[in-house]
Amino acid sequence: MTDKLFTPLKLGPATLQHRVVMAPLTRMRASADGNVPTALNALYYAQRATPGGLLIAEATPVSWQGHGHPNVPGIHTAAQVKGWRQVTDAVHAQGGVIYLQLWHTGRVSHSSHQPDGARPVGPSAIAAQGMTMDAARQPVPYEVPRALATDEMPALVDSWRQAAAQAMQAGFDGVEIHGANGYLLEQFLQSRSNVRTDAYGGSIENRCRLHLEIAEVVAREIGADRTGIRLSPWGIANDSGEADPLPLYTHLVAELARLNLVYLHLIEPRASGTGKADIAREGQPSAAQTFRPLWPNVLIDAGGFDRDGALQAVEEGRADAVAFGRYFISNPDLPRRLQIGAPLTPYHRPTFYGGGAEGYTDYPDHPTQAQQAAAAG
């Protein structure tokens, strides 16, 4: 019997041939001049593409204001669109499916990343606790953001629509709205970072408004069947976290379901914080199990999965697909390794962010049976 993790799955216009998804992973390897994807980025994604396999490309700012890290690719200039086209062409040449994650870092940016050195923006003038990285790659404290004015919101929402349209021009099969991990959309969602008194603050309905407005305009622009969204209901990344997230996220997921988006991508709370360290928060609720009854379309689960956990999540119906991050970095052929039960190459955390080919495109595939036989003589 074939494990369900390796059976086809309909995803909008595409049919995936397996359910092992590459999670969006910030790698900081775009060009320093213009934040443009390069041939090295195209090679990286092509190495991880499989026929009918879904890759979700790294978090990509929708505007210059949305940037918050060095050397991350954008999707808001003609040069960036052209750079991404070589990535999507390389993935499609391998038979892969690729979505782009649309991003705005909000208050966890730094003025050194902002046009004219302006303060980063957020829902309210409340600084996140902790440290970030400035444009010189030095650790610096988070700054107090400038609260976005109500009359700025339509243009902010439209920047996501434009980014989605440009993603399609760049050849992506769809987009994922980044509504998680303490970035701008989640900052609006949560009461610890949003103390507004206008239509975007206060009640749960108001705090969910930005997520829903962006999801609606993106779905209208490129089709709901090409629009996914990522959430982290119990997450604590980037000084996020809601005291009682269940009422908030129950409302949000139910309202997003009305828009008929092609997928919901959930980060399990046990894995929040793994971008910066190997943290496992045990004893946490299951995000997928909690929200599965509210979500009628594809549900992708992510966060700290191993092979057995992924097989079980899909077999039991808690998720339709499972996304892997760190092990997709060090195992470009991860779906095949998981299918045959091959050992996984360990990842090397110091090469995650920035640099060149080392720790990026130099991880080998697992030898095939023919290669193993040839090596054995």
Q: Is 342 exposed, middle or buried (0-12, 13-18, 19+ CB in 10 A)?
A: middle
The C-alpha atoms of residue 346 and residue 328 are separated, in whole angstroms, by 10
Is residue 273 left, alpha or beta, with left meaning phi > 0 and alpha meaning psi from -120 to 50? left
Contacts of residue 335, defined as CB under 8 A and 6 or more positions apart, other chains included, come to 6, 18, 20, 50, 53
Amino acid type, 294: L
Amino acid type, 318: R
How far is CA 152 from its chain centroid? Answer: 25
Instruction: Respond yes or no: is residue 142 known to be catalytic.
Output: no
* Given 183, 200, 263, 360, the catalytic residue: 183
The C-alpha atoms of residue 22 and residue 326 are separated, in whole angstroms, by 9
Element (H, E) at 307: helix 307-315
How far is CA 153 from its chain centroid? Answer: 23
List Cα–Cα distances, 306 to 20, 44, 293, 299, 328, in angstroms: 11, 22, 24, 18, 12
Q: Which residues are paired to 54 by β-bridges?
A: 97
- Return the active site residues: 183
